[in-house]
Amino acid sequence: MQLSESHAAASTSFSTLAKITVQAINDSHASDVGEVCATVDGSGSHTSSTSKSLPPMDYSGNQGDRWIYMEPFEIEQFQYRYFYWDGVIWLDGSGVDENGDESEANSEELWNNYNSDFSALVEAAKKSQKGYKCKFLELSRIEIVGQDPSPSYKGQIGDVHIKIDSKFSDAELGYLWNGSKWIANLENTYTLAHAAATRTKSGEYCIYGKNKDIYSSYYSAPPVDYKGIKADLWIVADKTSGSEIGRFFWSGKAWVENNANGFEQLKAINEAAQLKARSTSIGEVCYAGTNTSAQTFSSNLPKSYKGKVNDRWIVMDKKGEKSNIYYYWTGKSWILN
């Protein structure tokens, strides 16, 4: 949070503003209060708090409130435990409450009911006019279906607006407030293109050397009449969420599913082809509709590029020790987010 407000307001960099936002989120998670999100139904308001602290024993909130405990797992990693307030004690998914009182034989069933109810509340809130609202320190985030951020917004530098596409629930488009206007995440174009492409027959596909991979929710399983080469990859996605539900490699004659005999050998061939392609100046090239994205270890971005605005060039770290660097094409030059 070291960036001055005047500097942040003048900035058009999404990544610069994101540093403010991420720091505030991390600080809120480290506090006893946590990041607090709110929903409303016929029985009143309900909150969901996310914190590295366990839920408070002297809690005075409403029945059905949620507490997400970021339990330490490994260095800088956490596993999440979900607790629900039944009016007297916190219930977790194992059926054992944090008070050590196991007298409620149906606590696991109650937890499942609360979990289902809260999930429905969140989805309903996102589809409402006001959206699903969260607070982290002095900043706020709104998640809302189908609504662009308001140009007359008045808030804090680093506030977040997430527009969930009304057609594709997995397309979440991010905007950050710089003090005078909203700055769109340059990744938004790809996010929407990816969601749309995966619902088509051709899917989003990547080419590396003679091999390719396809990511599609159009099929419930890869097509048996496929014409490709050995070690091509096919990822089957869920039609609603867009998330991966199956992974297959082409043996040259049939598709081999994850954990089946021969899968690991085909995977090794595929990964070697990807590595070889990414070591070239062209890289591994992916297509999501009209959006193109190159993944390569080369930082020599093409100067005479002939693609579309917001095409991506991703510079990868060959050792996998550093974060990828994303560049976006303005129509005239490459820029960072």
Residues 165-205: tens digit of each pLDDT = 999 999 999 999 999 999 999 999 999 999 999 999 999 99
Q: What is the pTM of this model?
A: 0.87
Confidence of residue 118 (pLDDT cuts 50, 70, 90): very high
pLDDT of the residue at 40: 79
Phi-psi label, residue 290: left if phi above 0, alpha if psi -120 to 50, beta otherwise: alpha
For 159-173, the pLDDT digits (tens) are: 999 999 999 999 999
Higher pLDDT, 44 or 145: 145
Rounded Cα distance, 160 and 14, in Å: 11
Which of 102-111, 226-235, 244-253, 283-292 comes out lowest in average pLDDT? 102-111
DSSP-assigned letters across all residues of 268-293: HHHHHHHHHHHTSSS-EEEEETTEEE
pLDDT digits (tens, 9 = 90+) for 255-275: 999 989 999 999 999 999 999
| 315 vs 321, residue with greater confidence | 315
More confident call, 226 vs 105: 226
Say what percent of the chain tops pLDDT 70: 92
175, β-bridge pairs = 161, 184
β-strand partners of 69 = 51, 81
Q: Other C-beta atoms within 10 Å of 284: how many?
A: 25
DSSP 196: H
CA distances (Å), origin 102, targets 40, 85, 98, 106: 30, 15, 9, 10
Q: Closest Cα to residue 213, out of 244, 247, 254, 179? A: 247
Burial class for 84, CB neighbours closer than 10 Å (0-12, 13-18, 19+): buried
